[in-house]
Chains A and B, each alone.
Chain A
Amino acid sequence: MTKLQKNVWKASIAIALALSVCPVSNAMHIMEGFLPPALCIAWGVVCLPFLVKGLINLKKIFAENRRAVTLVAMAGAYVFVLSALKIPSVTGSCSHMTGTGFSAILFGPSVTSILGIIVLVFQAILLAHGGLTTLGANTFSMAIAGPLLTYGIFGLCKKLKVNKNVSIFLAAALGDLFTYCVTSVQLAIAYPSANGGVAASALEFLGVFAPTQLPLAVIEGILTVLIMMAMESYARPELKAIGYGR
């Protein structure tokens, strides 16, 4: 990192810490206009340090490690595909996957936040899905909180020497699920229930999202295992270049 980059990153952390009124919490795509303006800004600010760090890391990858660019493109495309597929679930409603697990396992949460926000902006502007005002909250849940958990679980499994495919599955599936838990909490903060407050309301939202998302999380886990298998068969030099699997 250059000095300037370091300073920008530090500044963004400082701004985030200074401005974030609400503690770190989390949540599915929240619809346009469904969060009060103050919360929209707060979530956006919480995302800032991750996005800045992500940009710096991406720039570094592009400058130093041309081989890894292929993997970045692959990870981005994977998010694009998975978050566009609406899949029927056991509850009789549809939801979609996040697709961020693959990128989080390869590059960690900061780079994933950039790939995620690209998809979210695309969907917010062109598909009226999610929204520009709720971009911060959605970025936090789908592109930061979920990947952060994925990254953590994958690292933990590696330490515990769990079978690689099992750990990829667990990391991606739980990260997907966690994204929606965060969304529930984000919605609950905006809409605390009259008798029971934020916690009761979070449970209500979880009741809507979690059962729908559970099978999808399993699907996302399996698909992520499959794409990692493909990468390990055909893209060994690239994986080595980013230090994966050492």
Chain B
Amino acid sequence: MKNHGKTVIILLLIVLALILVPLFTLKDAEFGGSDDAGSQKIEEIQGEYEPWFTPVFEAALGGEIPGEIESLLFCVQTGIGVGIIAFIMGRLVERKKHEKESDSDC
């Protein structure tokens, strides 16, 4: 098997650069969601628009989800995903190690 180490590191650096460069070069930008940009566009095209349905969570809260709570919930989503990926990767990597060991035994 080829060693992918270098490629992986280079690719990760590119990803980091793509994320960080806009953040540091556009100092005045708000970095709001592009959904919000979308709703603004709708207002430009259509005039004032009243959504006919509010998200169930916001309806239950009687208002918008507080920003901190929203980021908490997004973290939970990421956490669930990362947890599963890490668990599976751990198992696969260990399995490969065992295969190698038993290969060298024979």
Contacts and interface: CB of A to CB of B under 8 A. Distances in A.
A212 B31 CA distance: 10
Contacts of A94: 31-34
A86 B70 contact: no
Contacts of A123: 77
Interface in A68-107: 70, 73-74, 76-95
Interface string B64-106: 1100001001111110111111001100110110000000000
Given A80-B77, A94-B34, A223 B15 contact: yes
A209 B38 contact: yes
B52 to A, nearest CB: 5
Nearest to B80: A80
Interface string A187-222: 100010110000001001100110011010011001
A77 B80 contact: yes
Contacts of B46: 191
B93 A95 contact: no
A218 B4 CA distance: 20
B41 A204 contact: yes
Contact of B34 (A36, A133, A201, A208): A208
Interface of B: 1, 4, 7-8, 11-12, 14-15, 18-19, 21-23, 26, 28-39, 41-42, 44-46, 49, 51-58, 64-65, 70, 73-78, 80-85, 88-89, 92-93, 95-96
Interface of A: 28-34, 36-37, 70, 73-74, 76-95, 119, 122-129, 131-133, 187, 191, 193-194, 201, 204-205, 208-209, 212-213, 215, 218-219, 222-223, 225-226, 229-230, 233-235
